[in-house]
Amino acid sequence: MVATEPTVYRVIGTRPVRPDGVDKVTGRAEYGADVAPAGVLFGRVKRSPHAHARIRRIDTSRALALDGVKAVVTHADFPTVEDAVADIGETTSNFRWVLDNVLASTKALYYGHAVAAVCATDLHIAEDALELIEVEYEVLPPALNVHDAMADGAPLLHEQLRTAEMLSRFVPGPDRSEHPSNVASHLRLERGNVDEGFAEADVIVEGEFETAMTHQGYIEPQNGTAFWNRDDDLTVWVSTQGPFSVREQLSKILRLPLSKVRVVPTEIGGGFGGKLPVYMEPVAAIMSRMTGRPVKMIMSRTEVFTSTGPTSATYVRAKIGAKRDGTLVAAEAYLAYEAGAYPGSPAGAGAMCMFGSYDIPHQAVDAYDVVTNKPKVQAYRAPGSPQATFATESLLDELAERLAMDGMELRLKNVAREGTRRTDGAPFGAIGAEEVMLAARDSPHYRSELAGEHTGRGVSMGFWFNAGLESSAYASTNGDGTVSLVVGSVDIGGQRAALAMQFAEAMGLPYEAIKPQVVDTDSIGFTGVTGGSRTTFATGWAVYEAAMDLRSRLEERAARIWSVDRDAVDYGADGIVRGPDGKQLTFAALCARLASTGGMLQGHADVSPTTVGPAFGCHVVDVAVDPETGKVEILRYTAVQDVGRAIHPAYVEGQIQGGVAQGIGMALNEGYVYDADGRLVNASFLDYRMPTALDLPNLECVLVEVPNPGHPYGVRGVGEVPIVPPLAAVANAIHDAIGVRVRRLPASPTELLRESLGE
């Protein structure tokens, strides 16, 4: 670890065992599939075999007549949902569209779009019943990529959709296009004068880049079990990154007060952004209301691929201009991101991130959100940034070549620092972009010699702004000096440990004294999603503030016990409360006296941080390309990242390694393949090829710690930025190895062979 500021912590920076570890390795942890309330019914979904079709008629009578079938639902069984928009995590959604995606209303908009659902006493009966639901379609021509969708005369997905001119990433302005369009919105970010900028440039590089639609590939399929009680109390057990977000979506879609919806988050087998929206939960809820019994639904792997939210396939055109000495003067880009069937791609985030690592005086980015006849995209780890950054970092590689400069030196020369303005004009605070570049340059990997034929080295930066959002925490003392800590952030990457550690640090207690627990939406204050790299940061802050609240109450109690002035008592960082005249009590000793002096004490806090800590990574990769087959082998990979402060370094490294692996998948292997009619033809882990442990070397991590001044422990989000650099890093390494500039990902053997043959 490269620490820029020496701070001594007792708990932070250690690597204790996670509280949920034993449960998970022994198979005891409760996942959604384990939920089995008495009298449960099993639900299945009937899905569209067409990419674009008008639904003329749905006849459910034969299915309903099947013995064991308890209910069949279509869109018509749902209440009318208001056209309200809410931020449900990293993306903003319109609840009417959310419901339309849950069960299609007038049109099926993608292959696998849900059109009806059934529940039965047995899963197999439910499967059989699907065959008995008759749907009459009028098949329409699909728009399967941004080019087709934006073309004149393109088939329109939504007859009423007008292009919105966005004021910012989530705020549409008053201007709308005159005619309906598949372009849901256009956002322009601008800084300086880009035309003047390019006029100053001595060298200009430009290019077109494309990336495929890729899936998060979490191990656990989506699932949800709902029980709608006769008094309209709805309980939903679900694998989700955001129980409060699920609660809000259900409340809006089902028209229930928030307090009537209780969402119980089960353990979660991965999400990466894909487990923010609802799919089957509202359907299970409605079928539970119809039947008076709990209804459980689990997706198959095929359904996960066809019908949940992958990330956008993208088309990016970019141009960068520099002075002869390597000073960047202008950058411009055009981004068209597929949203899938409903508006809401991460094009805006791509626009915000793509030039974020650098200080470029003149910039302009136009980002287009384009609906296509594919599943509605959802957040996927730093959503939007990898695709746009692929363009930036490929072009910088080319620019360095053109200027005969070392790529790392070119980047260092232009690196963003505190005060540098981002593409959207906002200035950076304390950031570690330069520190990660320097650490990458000085790393054993970058200093090593690369040997062998058809081998190459690539470098790329990556930037992600990270999220804040609200978090709550509640802590209760126990008489024996232990503490029960309650949070609402579901634990995906070791949050229980990372939160207990920050609480222990704040209280001056050993990690083992803290028992963290993730509870349902009725049992803790509002807490945003586990996503946006925000949990260790924001919920960590909440547990810190809860500790401060508790410390203050403990000081007050000690003062009362000692009959001294409250201000004369101080709770120390070592967990000892000190008063005047050498009076002192350890936390445990004070806890033992609480019951008899007025009762046990608790602390609580709610935070909504506005000072998030942006994160930067610099990756170095060595590859070998087999010229016969086009297969790319990753020889060595080093990810350097500014993590602010690594609370639990092992879990930080795990996040980085996971992000890198997914980025390499995007670079080399992964991509949705559709036939001409818009049917997904590789909807299985066999055909949709993610890198496995066998495909990759050990992924080396270098943690740089430039503490985030906007957090009590300097934490920055760490989970997302590592997926950003691999696309360009690998592409640049391939170019270094065989001289081919890959512009279209994944750089599969087929693609590489085609490129190297000049096709």
Q: Can you tell me whether residue 361 is helix, strand or coil?
A: coil
The answer to whether residue 251 forms part of the interface with its own copies (CB under 8 A) is yes
Rule CB under 8 A: which of 217-236 touch its own copies? 227, 229-231, 233
Q: What angle do CA 657, 730, 402 make, to 5 degrees?
A: 140
Structure token digits, residue 548: 């401060």
- Nearest-approach distance from CB 73 to its own copies, in angstroms: 22
Candidate segments 7-15, 64-72, 279-287, 516-524, binder of its own copies by CB under 8 A: 516-524
Rule CB under 8 A: which of 486-505 touch its own copies? 486
Among 501, 505, 411, 530, CA closest to 459: 411
- Nearest-approach distance from CB 601 to its own copies, in angstroms: 6
Buried b (16+ CB within 10 A) or exposed e, 330-361: bbbbbbbbbbbbbbbbbbbbbbbbbbbbbbbb
- Nearest-approach distance from CB 518 to its own copies, in angstroms: 10
DSSP string, 646-676: -SSHHHHHHHHHHHHHHHHHHHHT----B-T
- Nearest-approach distance from CB 87 to its own copies, in angstroms: 9
- Residue window 30-69: x/- pattern of binding to its own copies, with contact defined by CB under 8 A: ----x-x-x-------------------------------
The answer to whether residue 167 forms part of the interface with its own copies (CB under 8 A) is no
- Nearest-approach distance from CB 495 to its own copies, in angstroms: 16
Q: Are 164 and 370 in contact (CB under 8 A)?
A: no
- Nearest-approach distance from CB 450 to its own copies, in angstroms: 45
Query: What single DSSP character describes residue 722?
Result: G
Residue 487 or 667 with smaller CB distance to its own copies: 487
The answer to whether residue 425 forms part of the interface with its own copies (CB under 8 A) is no
Q: Which of 598, 627, 697, 709 binds its own copies (CB under 8 A)?
A: 598
CA 387, 391, 396, 398 dihedral sign is: positive
Q: Which of 1, 84, 171, 600 binds its own copies (CB under 8 A)?
A: 600
Residue 193 or 476 with smaller CB distance to its own copies: 476
CA distance 423 to 206: 18
Tell me the chain's radius of gyration from C-alpha atoms.
27
Q: Are 492 and 550 in contact (CB under 8 A)?
A: no
CA distance 172 to 26: 49
Structure token digits, residue 541: 């802050």
Candidate segments 188-196, 255-263, 358-366, 402-410, binder of its own copies by CB under 8 A: 255-263
The answer to whether residue 260 forms part of the interface with its own copies (CB under 8 A) is yes
- Nearest-approach distance from CB 468 to its own copies, in angstroms: 10
What angle do the packed helices 749-756 and 726-738 form, to 10 degrees?
40
The answer to whether residue 259 forms part of the interface with its own copies (CB under 8 A) is yes
Q: Which of 65, 199, 595, 673 binds its own copies (CB under 8 A)?
A: 595
CA distance 347 to 354: 10
Residue 283 Rama label (left phi>0; alpha psi -120 to 50; beta): alpha
Query: Phi and psi (nearest 5°) for 36?
Result: -145, 70
CA distance 250 to 88: 12
Size of the site for its own copies (CB under 8 A): 55
Residue 339 or 513 with smaller CB distance to its own copies: 513
Residue 512 or 687 with smaller CB distance to its own copies: 512
Candidate segments 120-128, 258-266, 322-330, 669-677, binder of its own copies by CB under 8 A: 258-266
The answer to whether residue 257 forms part of the interface with its own copies (CB under 8 A) is yes
* CA distances (Å), origin 404, targets 409, 422, 475, 545, 706: 11, 27, 58, 52, 31
Q: Can you tell me whether residue 27 is helix, strand or coil?
A: coil
The answer to whether residue 80 forms part of the interface with its own copies (CB under 8 A) is no
Q: Which of 479, 627, 697, 709 binds its own copies (CB under 8 A)?
A: 479
Among 665, 725, 661, CA closest to 212: 665
Candidate segments 66-74, 369-377, 430-438, 471-479, binder of its own copies by CB under 8 A: 471-479
What is the residue type of 509? L
Q: Which of 14, 300, 302, 476 binds its own copies (CB under 8 A)?
A: 476
Residue 482 or 669 with smaller CB distance to its own copies: 482
Q: Can you tell me whether residue 524 is helix, strand or coil?
A: coil
The answer to whether residue 82 forms part of the interface with its own copies (CB under 8 A) is no
* CA distances (Å), origin 179, targets 149, 176, 334: 14, 9, 22
- Residue window 519-558: x/- pattern of binding to its own copies, with contact defined by CB under 8 A: x-xxxxxx--------------------------------
| Interacting residue ranges for its own copies, rule: CB under 8 A | 17, 19, 21-23, 26, 28, 34, 36, 38, 227, 229-231, 233, 248, 251, 257-260, 292, 470, 472, 474, 476-480, 482-484, 486, 513-515, 517, 519, 521-526, 595, 598-602, 604, 606-608
